[in-house]
Amino acid sequence: MTRNEIAKLLDHSVLQPFLRDEDIRRGCDIALKYDTATVCARPGDMKIVTACLRGSDVLPCTVIGFPHGMHRTDVKVYESLKALEDGCRELDMVLSVGKLLSGEEAYVRDEIAKIAEVTHDGGAILKVILETCYLDRDGIRLACRLSEEGGADFVKTSTGYGTAGAKAEDIALMRASVSARVRVKASGGIRDLDTVLLMHANGADRCGVSATEAIMKEAIERGM
């Protein structure tokens, strides 16, 4: 892969609660320097992010129902609408993990469908975060199926705030559990180039990372 192809696998993440406005702007500068796919920031930062990225092909991305997923559905929908108003082009929504584990499949599917509808109406795409660390293999398959039935464009492993992040075997399972229409994103604990390449080899179309600069420096050093 070329360094540009690697960069376009990356959603540069600036989600830590302690980040200041200047940290968000610095994160955008890093993303612009390497031409990543997106900058994924907190909802309250999106006006800063969209201003910084204007005129580039690095897209603004935010999180919905983050990090626990158990916001009310109408709150998630409202949050999605406000994010779209602020210029977001990609939304990473946390699935209602507690409802999934309670066997409430219709609730989970319908919530995803409502958020997918407003997201697509706004010209954006929806990623659904499964939080795979709380699911067994059957749970991951089920979450993937419900996400696809609800209209998600991506399924994503993790928030980065659960008990574990992305695992290559989970990426392979997710890839096998959705159709070619749905893409897969690995996120959580990805800090070096070899891990990005491993996730990609197992089916990840994107990787959520905060270590973008270190990863891209590795790619440059290797002559990619």
pLDDT the model gives residue 103: 97
pLDDT the model gives residue 55: 96
Q: Which two tokens stand for residue 174?
A: 């997710």
Residues in a beta bridge with 41: 14, 62
pLDDT the model gives residue 26: 98
Per-residue pLDDT band for 81 (boundaries 50, 70, 90) equals very high
pLDDT the model gives residue 216: 98
- Return the sign of the alpha-carbon dihedral for residues 14, 151, 196, 164: positive
Amino acid at 184: V
Q: What percentage of the chain reaches a pLDDT higher than 90? A: 98
pTM of the predicted model, to two decimals?
A: 0.96
Q: Which residues are catalytic?
A: 92, 156, 185
The verdict on whether omega for the bond into residue 67 sits within 30 degrees of 0, i.e. cis, is yes
Q: What average pLDDT does this structure show over 79-104?
A: 98
Q: Tell me how many degrees the CA angle 43-34-46 measures, rounded to the nearest 5.
A: 15
3-221 fold? TIM Barrel (3.20.20)
Of the candidates 4, 50, 6, 55, the residue with the CA atom closest to the CA atom of residue 28: 50
Per-residue pLDDT band for 149 (boundaries 50, 70, 90) equals very high
> For the purposes of burial, counting CB atoms within 10 Å of the CB of 35, is it exposed (0-12), middle (13-18) or buried (19 or more)?
middle
